[in-house]
Amino acid sequence: MINTLLGLKEKMSHTFVETTRVPITWIKLGPCVVTQIKSEKKDGYWSVQLGFEEKRIKNVTKPIQGHIKAAYKDGKKAARFLREVKSYKEPDLKVGDIISFSDIFKKGDVVSVTGKTKGKGFAGVVKRWRFAGGPRTHGQSDRERAPGSIGQRTTPGRVYKGKRMAGRMGQNRITIKNLIIADVDKEKGWVAISGSIPGSTGDLVIIHKIAEGKLEELVEEAPKVEIQQEEEPSDKDTKQVEVKQEEVKN
């Protein structure tokens, strides 16, 4: 059995694990359909191609229709998303099998989430790279958000590749590791993952199981406060105070 499924980001919320408030993200996870299995002899590696969500068959190209006809035998629906998951050994699956999240994931599992970040459009260096900008004094009234010098003189006579400059921001594929499944809703097919994940609501995400864990890992230990109690005065100390008071009166 593989340890990866496709899902859609739904919404953010929060829950409580014992007395700790944990921010969570709800994800509609699966079910996924096996549309292709690649073998090590033919393709050089083992992998399983998964189909997720459905759309009308008329909105799919003819090559894709031929590719998935073994998995969607009714001929009316097609996969909205197709993604390949690598495997280190021959998977015990066949084309047409349906995989639900309960076959792989459960509460407390440690997972990684892969998705695309939100697109921000064309952005300057201050927003994109957190540059400080130029000074506001000495006549530089129009250099507050400028990048400054970007190159050299005769040597090398060009701008180095990878120079941090203005450009398109966002829409990057990133992976967040070591998140924990905090809750499960079997009726909706949703799982709640601790923390935030990349992407907007409705974006495709790939959930990969890393290891089995416990919900207790999300519990924060409350700080211990030491209370110091004042010692009660002994009989000897009270007698000394009474003697001093009598001396003062005399």
C-alpha pair distances (Å), 80 with each of 9, 31, 36, 52, 68: 15, 13, 15, 6, 11
Top-confidence residue, 22 or 223: 22
Residue 182 pLDDT exceeds 60: yes
d(CA 176, CA 197): 7
Structural tokens at position 244: 């001093």
CA 107 remoteness from chain centre: 17
pLDDT confidence of 133, banded at 50, 70, 90?
Answer: confident
For residues 239, 240, 243 and 244, what is the CA-based torsion angle, rounded to 10 degrees? -140
Given this model, what pLDDT does residue 152 score? 82
Residue range 72-127, pLDDT digits in tens: 888 888 999 999 999 888 888 889 889 998 888 888 899 999 999 999 999 999 99
Asked if omega into 147 is within 30° of 0 (cis), the reply is: no
Q: Give CA separation, 210 vs 64, 91, 177, 187, in Å.
A: 32, 18, 9, 25
- What's the rounded mean pLDDT across residues 201-225? 84
